[in-house]
Structure 1
Amino acid sequence: MKLWAKGTDPEPKIIDYTAGNDSFTDLAFAKWDIVGSMAHVTMLGKQGLISTDEKVDLLKKLATLLDKDAKGKLRIEDGIEDIHSQIEKELVALLGDTGKKIHTGRSRNDQVLVDIRLYSRELIDSTACLVGILFGKLQQLSEKHKNLLIPGYTHMQPAMVSSFGMWFGSYAEALTDDLLTLSSARAMNNRNPLGTAAGYGSTLPIDRKITTELLEFDDLLYNSAYASLSRGKIEMSIASALASLAQTLGRFAMDSCLFMSAEYRFINFPDEYITGSSIMPQKRNPDVFEIMRGKMNVIQTLPGQIAMLVSNLPSGYNRELQLLKQMIFNAFNDIQETVSILNIMLDNIIVRDDIMDSALYNPIFSTEEANRLAKAGMPFRDAYKEVANMVKMGKPFRKTSLDEYSHDGSIGNLCNAKIATLFKERMSGFKGRTAYEIAEKILSVNSLAQ
């Protein structure tokens, strides 16, 4: 079944190639296609484009299909092009001509667009929730280990005094900014394209504000032509947010690989969380963090991939835009899987408490020696040169203590509470409403609450 069929059977290989993996991708957002249709039917009823009885019948059957999908029983049958066609086919089988009215006032273009935006919103919100759990773990570890000093590095050389508290806390604050980019992507995504049809509107007296409110979009996507033009732009915004988060996760993974190496041994994990070698008995490999690093590097290429896909397209819908769906949804899957496994690893991380006992790291106290001379009145540049000579002569330096660091953001004043407040403020925009909650609301509006 093809919604666009006009009496000619298309070559099956053409359909297979152009549809690609759409059938698998479509099932992922089937629930949102059904919920979008429920909102659309409600609007058609209010506008007198279908009768009250037809509206009620369609809503009841759509609710049945939603339940079928929730139980994992909804399938795209052989010969059916996509989830939209499958749902319309089932409605026609159940309701006859009434089922054929589901497509009144909309195109498959805006139907796909609303599905993608609703599903993307769900994925953004669930990703933010997982990031919130990760943020909490990093802050807990930062507080727990804030008194354990470690060397801080620049150019991969021991540089200045740091702490496990600062290391864990820095990644927690990075997630706070990642949340801001994710929030921005959510805001761009959360505008309603339903009713823009094929990108040029319709002569039917539809009311797009009704579906906007029912589906809990922030606003309309107003210009109908921009609906298709926004394809690629919205995905780019989402991809950029995911790439920002991937950068944070990837850099933490790289740090962990280094800190687990024999030359560092700053952190470790129980045997159950690392792998070994088939020939080298001593090996303790950080495979989780290596895979994490690789997957996050791939996600950071996603904005470039999307740019190449859409950069020379004319306005209006073009078929290659469907490739965006799998690119974005696969990236969400990898991000969520990575955050989840990192949460598990952090629950089992072991940190060393004697790192700074090594004479290897004594020179990192040299900067604070120069600062002490400067506080005593010596010009800093002269103090720098004097301490540099001490380094050359191999003289040891007095270790500084945490209470000597008092300014905001130093190892003695990590400001974790302020960072937590900022994170909480930025989390407030992720509402996390499910398809089933919105469906229940739509049924309630129509006095059909289950």
Structure 2
Amino acid sequence: MLGSQRRAVRGSASQRSRQQPRQGQQDSLDLPPYEPPRCPLAPDFMRQLNEFCTGRINDTYEKQIAESATLLGSTAYRVNERVTNRRKVAAEDTARAAKRKHGAEDGEGDEAAAAAERAESAVRELEGEALELATQIEEAMREALDMQATLEDEKSTLRKLPELVAQRQQEVAEQAQQDRDADEEGAADPPDVPGVPTLDVLKEACDAKAAEYDRLSPYDKYATNNKYIDFRQSWHEGLYQNPDEIPLPDPTRWFDRDGRPRLEARRDDEQGGEGADEDGDQDGDEEEEDDEIQIAREKRSFRCPLSLAIMREPFTCRICKHSFERSAITEYIKGPNGRGRVAKCPVPGCNVAQMTLNDFYPDDVLLRKIKRAEQAEREATARSSDQEDDEGEEVEGEEVEGGEGEGEEDDDEEDSYVSRASRASTAKRAKTERRRGGVVESDDEIDS
């Protein structure tokens, strides 16, 4: 009993002895309130700031933003393309139903018409869902561009931070001298100049950059950005079966007076259209008159200026907008030794004297145009071959029906028929040889 009491007393005493130094140690660790640094930036710190601006962290973030913009553009294209294809199928079903209604029994015709009506209703429902989804994609695209602009402003501010701190320090020193001269005339001692917190200067500079960006109009923010232009082009191409025949709306019409995006709708839609905003409203007679302006069809070469072959992996320069085959322009910039990094644009007349591989991007929009041109060429060749075969059969039939003894006038007509058939056969052979050679001559192609 007494032993347990002694052990308890010794335990409590030892516990108090252990607690006392801990309390004293805690008192010694009490720190004064934090004060931001007010000393000038050292050269080593300036070097670290520059390395941070050009480091891999920012490069990774910038690449992710660029990849997001590319994916958003391709997604908008696929969403609109899906609706376009469904509209085409529904229109074909409606046409077939109309033919069956005239040529079939009443029951079969009514059933086909009902099926076509259900298909049209499904397409209209899909269009509403697609428009809502595409609107969200467009908003996400502008947010990605805002993040890119913020990143560029922050990098620019960090590079100029030492200069901004020195400038602010000079302003504080001049103000302190003026205050001292006003209080004590003729004082010989220099005034005490308080330091300038670097963090405060950085925050003020970033806030000023953000305010400057917010003051820009939506046109200046997005419509002049190459990524947003490509996004709008992808959006436009998904709306039509033959988008090259319908011009892209002018960038000045992409936003209304209130800064809201005016999303392009199909020209044959009852609501919206080229000049409709996301609410389907028009903005006045002035913009309605712009709808009457006929814009010429865009002409662009599908051949690489270096390899002179149809581009299979187009690589477009952000600076001058000239496109090349990726392997050809890579070899051109790297040079014979494979170590080159900068080169002049090889297109004659281009003023871009320095461009690197970082200035290029895979042009998915141009690649889709090339594929559409190839498909159109194949279809046109097939139609032309069928027409030439039909013309040949007509020529033979007319020759037989003409008979003999028609006189000199009939002989002239026969010679005309034979000459026309010969020209058709020659054209057919030329197109066959061109198709075998893999040459694509589209209406959009001009000399580079």
Q: TM class by shorter-chain length?
A: under 0.3
TM-score, normalisation: structure 2: 0.26
- Which protein is bigger by CA-based radius of gyration? 2
